[in-house]
Amino acid sequence: MTKNPEISSTDLQPLQGGEFLIKDTEAKDIFIPEDFDEEQLMIRNMCLDFLNKEVKPNLDELEHKKYELAETMLRKMGGLGLLGTHISEAYGGMELDTNTNTLICDTMGPAASFNTTYAAHTGIGMLPVLYFGNEEQKQKYLPGMCDGSIVGAYCLTEPSSGSDALSAKTRADLTDDGQHYIINGQKMWISNAGFADLFIVFAQIDGNKFTGFLVEKGTEGLVLGAEEKKLGINGSSTRQVFFENMKVPASSILGEIGKGHLIAFNSLNNGRFKLCALSLGGAKESLRSAVAYAKERIQFKTPIANFGAIKYKLAEEAIKIFTTESALYRVSDLMQDKKTELMESGMDFAQAKLQAAEEYAIECAILKVAGSEALDYIVDETLQIHGGMGFSEEGTAARAYRDSRIARIYEGTNEINRLLTVDMLLKRAMKGKLDIVGPAWAVQKELASMPSMVKPEGAYAEEKKAVGDFKKVILMVAGAAAKMQMDGKINLKEEQEILMNVADMMIDLLVAESTLLRVEKISEKAETKFPMEIYEAMLKVFMTDATARVHKNATDALVSFAEGDLLKTMLLGLKRFTKYPPVNVKKARRMIAEVVIDKEDYPF
């Protein structure tokens, strides 16, 4: 990319967490879906085979709460080795690379409510044991969790503690002989609870030491509530779990006493990332449903797929998938590179995987929001395209609409993830891991100078400039807000609206830059699946809309805390930094829609 004087190049160093805000990246240095090799595509086909033969034929039955089917399918998946692809070989896993594991989640996206069963087991069910279990615990549980003979459940949420997990009331007290803990309390919204063999339970030792425990099925005092009646994901088992003087060995502690927050929060990083992949896989299935119906539904003697309003929807669905997918695989590769780097330095597989996800916690939070909200838009518009049939339970559109809604809530609500995105960025800056002060100051100096009259030149020059300007806008707004806080004029902890504005701009930045880099990398390939004008149309439409969103979010933030000459200067700067050439978006969307309609699929 064209370098901005105040934004440094990554050179040979991969981006660290959050550095996408202050550093540029070369297209050659990212991974895109077009880079998958034959082995990775073979694994995808294996997953597709399982999905089409074992999962899809049972989705209607799952919808009628046949939880035994979910259990059976999960255990079959383990028999194929697909539950342990992200676990080290020493514990029965396949130890596949991060990009391949991302592809597996992407492929499993159309599994509807079974995704919750699968993701809860392979993510928050298995990873805490891999990350924080001692050797004896890993050897005892992980091989069975990989082959499906042991199903995991994660017991964190309580009636009074959702996003504020550390305020949990469940209590654990050491017996007089020091050999056991007595646990009392309750958990709710526990996925897989109805057939889980191993429960990861969080409790307050002595009422104030938040700690994880491994509790086996059948333990006296472990009581399951009735299956919850839910809006969606009806095929997944969700129950309350009660602990009534439950006695567990002291050896069942997972990790360290009082360090349960490390288990809870670090397990969520991977969960958020995987949720984006699963959401996009589901979104692709929804788009397939939309275009198939649009081609067969005749109104006014023509398929509704021929109408401009429908083409707009189909194109927009494809654009949201393509752009978010670009960010997903870019971050996937960053985590893979970090894991490899750490392992080469002598770190074991589990800790390298843990620290790689922790390094990119900001990006994982962004992807969770972007993926879940792309899915929500797509299932909503797919239902709309189906019209009355979409509102009927006879088809799949209604089920997808209901199932998707949970994605914005679990793994941390989207509101929490937005706030975390900015909070983690500022904390990394305060710890010296990320220098945003220098680049922010450079933007302030630029505001005092005359705008350059030199027009961007070269391939994707306008898009590169726009991405660089997005970074300047975010640094300008965040820097000004931080300065106001230092001066005691505002308290950002009480200004969540400002933080949400900044987070939304960061989401648009990561997705915009990732899409630009993907399109640029595709353009450098000897052969492309579609003419470049199709990929460029998706890029240009997204950049047009993202520029408008960045302008609005920045304006909303600035007018809420700045005034007088400062506000005037900032708004002039904002006008300078949000100029993107007008695009015939109608023509671009129609071009994209024609490809989708022709292939009757998400074809990219």
User: Which residues are catalytic, by number?
Assistant: 411
d(CA 101, CA 93): 12
Three-class HEC string of 458-497: CCCHHHHHHHHHHHHHHHHHHHHHHHHHHCCCCCHHHCHH
d(CA 239, CA 157): 11
Residues in the chain: 604
Nearest to 85 by CA among 75, 72, 71, 99: 99
d(CA 285, CA 602): 8
Write b or e for each residue in 166-182: b if 16 or more Cβ atoms lie within 10 A of its Cβ, otherwise e. eebebbbeeeeeeebbb
Give CA separation, 407 vs 58, 101, 604, in Å. 22, 20, 24
Read off φ and ψ for residue 216, nearest 5 degrees. -85, 150
The 3-state DSSP class for residue 291 equals helix
H-helix or E-strand spanning residue 173: strand 171-174
CB-CB contact of 171 with 238 (8 Å):
no
d(CA 135, CA 126): 14
Amino acid at site 583: V
- Pairing outcome for strands 171-174 and 198-205: parallel
The 3-state DSSP class for residue 145 equals helix
CB-CB contact of 234 with 405 (8 Å):
no
- End-to-end CA, the chain: 23
d(CA 327, CA 472): 20
Tell me the HSE value of 316 on the side-chain side, using a 13 A CA sphere: 20
DSSP per residue over 216-244, as a string?
ETT-TTEEEEEEP--SS-TTS-EEEEEEE
Amino acid at site 404: S
Contacts of 250 (CB under 8 A, 6+ apart): 174, 178, 179, 180, 181
**Residue listed under structure tokens 């081609």:** 295
Contacts of 545 (CB under 8 A, 6+ apart): none
Amino acid at site 539: L
Hey, which residues does 205 pair with through a beta bridge?
172, 209
d(CA 560, CA 492): 12
